Amino acid sequence: MDRRRFLAGTATAIGAIVVLPLGTASATPEAMAGAIRKVVGASQVREGRVSLDLPPLVENGSTVPLVVSVESPMREADYIKAIHVFNEKNPQPNVFTARLGPRNGRAVVGTRIKLGDSQKIVAIAETSGGQFWSASADVIVTLAACLDEAT
Amino acid sequence: MIARHFGIGLAIVFIASYALAQGMADKGGTDKRRSGTQDMGGVLQKMQDDDTANPGMLFVQLGGELWGKASGASGKSCADCHGSVASMKGVAARYPAIPKGADAPVDLEGRIDLCRTANQRAGSLTSESRELLALTAYVAHQSRGFPITPPDDPRLAPFRARGEKLWQARQGQLNLSCAICHDDNAGKKLAGVTIPEAHPTGYPIYRLEWQTLGSLKRRLRNCLAGIRAEPYAYDAPEYVMLDLFLMDRARGMMLESPGVRP
Amino acid sequence: MANVLVNAPKTAKRGSIVEIKALILHPMETGFRPGPNGRIIPRNIIERFTATWNGTEIFDMEMSPAIAANPFVSFFAVASESGTVGLRWTGDEGFVVEERVAIAVE
């Protein structure tokens, strides 16, 4: 990407953030902000209720354990219906979208992700009432000294 | 901000690994040797220790299926001769060894392949093939928690001595020996990573960098490429010699197969 | 060769919340990596993981290339009645794997 296109993109992202009060997304690159906007629409994203458990220092970015937990009664009247995870530096901003309901009992999802570089990860939970809550984490990916060059 | 997080992260990693080292040292008395497991963060240690989370267990399970599957002209499975895999307890802790009637040692993979070609009369399994890794992992898993106990066979000594020589020899464009990193500088950092003491306690290992299971041979090949040396051919005896030396160097340490490593 | 490792309790108290963990052998090739010949290796990922309890969907996950190889997923479920938890992975190149585990609720 050349500098001009980068600047133009940044300007678009900043413009969008001014229009849509995205809260936590304000410091993220355009692609992640765009992906988040697609999910939350014009809704406000508030920080809180979500906890994002990731090692702060990752020994190898190819397999990074991650657990997202959301405070919720998980009853018919009030539950978490989706958990979305985004990253800012991988080739694509979406990591996963999990859909849940009262039958899960707990709004907790664990998996393992790939991180191409040190970056910010954002988790957004969507409640049955249409609210969005979020958490973010900065992850440092250390580089291995002797990479597998044979394969 | 990031620098601060990094500093805190490093401090946590340092304190954690120091505490762990102390714990292990107390447990093992005067033994100061460290398995690669002790140089990993808690997250990866947990991944290794939890059989429902350790990806290496996928291969162990696959090995279990292959164990019971008839193969080759004999029409026999591993189980037909060996019965339950429990008969393999402690076996991985004793390899490399010299098979009956042979005059040179083979590693565990080599022994499994020998059984396959000579007894099952099936085709040889390729190095690093999923089948060979799975069977090796299935057998090695039986020795988890067993101390490494190289066989008391004087015929192994010359092979082991050649392995030690290879370990000490400078090679490659970087002109480094295995020993310079893993004896002289183990525990220090190379880039962001702690240089391990290189004890073969977890093989075959699920290495995150590989995103799959791999053998000690593959790991040695990586190291050789790392020092810009040309790896020996896949069927070269040098790997078995290094394996012999390393298993002797790790004598008494516990096997952890299938290990998880970054 | 599909290979799956599922961990779920065999028995559970009615109304309790149980954890279900699943690992599956899969390369999760991103579609962004060049191969040895310099050409991009085509994407080959699991796109979706779905869990059902006695046929009713209880959990669903849309995966991206950012999910690590040999995907691991853990989630929770309310042990409402005895039955079968069905897990299903689908993805590129017609990949479909199904696995079932029984849970007795008392």
* Per-residue pLDDT band at A144 (split at 50, 70, 90): low
Closest Cβ opposite residue C69 in set B52, B59, B212: B212
What whole-number distance in Å separates Cα of residue A72 and Cα of residue A125?
Answer: 10
Residue B19 in tokens: 């505490």
Question: Both B131 and B18 in a single domain?
Answer: no
Q: Residue B65: which domain range?
A: 36-262
- In angstroms, what separates the C-alpha of A57 from chain C's closest C-alpha? 17
Q: What is the DSSP string of B70-110?
A: -BTTTTB-HHHHH-SGGGGTTTGGG-SBPPTT-SS-B-HHH
Chain A nearest-CA distance from C10, in A, is 17
Binding-site residues on chain B for chain C (CB distance < 8 A): 52-53, 55, 57-59, 61-62, 130, 211-212
The pLDDT, as a whole number, for residue A128 is 97
CATH number of the domain to which B91 belongs: 1.10.760.10
- Spans of all domains in chain A: 3-141
Write down the CATH number for the domain with range A3-141.
2.60.40.2470
> Do both B96 and B219 map to the same domain?
yes
> Looking at the partner chain, which of C1, C5, C69 has a beta carbon nearest the beta carbon of B52?
C5
Mean pLDDT, chain B, as a whole number? 90
* Boundaries of every domain in chain C: 4-105
Q: Are residues B113 and B202 in the same domain?
A: yes
- Identify whether residues B20 and B138 lie together within a single domain: no
| Nearest by CB: B57 against C5, C27, C68 | C5
Does residue B119 share a domain with residue B14? no
Best of A39, A100, A115 to substitute, by most chain C Cβ atoms within 10 angstroms, is A100
State the DSSP code for B183. Answer: I
The whole-number average pLDDT for the span A116-145 is 90
B97 and B8 assigned to the same domain: no
Is there a single domain that holds both residue B17 and residue B137?
no
Average pLDDT on B54-79 reads 96
- pLDDT tens-digit map of C8-30: 999 999 999 999 999 999 999 99
The whole model's pTM is what?
0.84
Mean pLDDT of B61-87: 96
Question: Which tens digits make up the pLDDT trace of A68-94?
Answer: 999 999 999 999 999 999 999 888 999
Q: Does residue B26 have a pLDDT over 60?
A: no
The ipTM (two decimal places) reads 0.93
Distance CA B244, CA B261 (A): 21
Note whether B148 and B175 are same-domain residues. yes
**What's the pLDDT score for residue A57?**
86
Considering only A24-33, B85-94, B134-143, which range has the smallest mean pLDDT? A24-33
Q: How many domains does chain B have?
A: 2
pLDDT of residue A60: 87
Average pLDDT over residues C55-66: 97
Q: Are strands C56-63 and A80-87 parallel, antiparallel or unpaired?
A: unpaired
Question: Looking at the predicted structure, is the pLDDT value of residue B176 above 90?
Answer: yes
User: What pLDDT is attached to residue B194?
Assistant: 87
Indicate yes or no: CB of B58 within 8 angstroms of CB of C3. Answer: yes
Same domain, B58 and B146: yes
Among A122, A55, A117, A114, CA closest to A87: A122
Name which CATH class applies to C4-105.
mainly beta
Cβ distance A147 to B12 less than 8 Å, yes or no, reads: no
pLDDT score for B5: 54
Taking residues B90-110, what's their average pLDDT? Answer: 96
B17 plus B139 within the same structural domain: no
- Residue A59 has a pLDDT of 83
Q: What is the mean pLDDT of residues A24-29?
A: 49
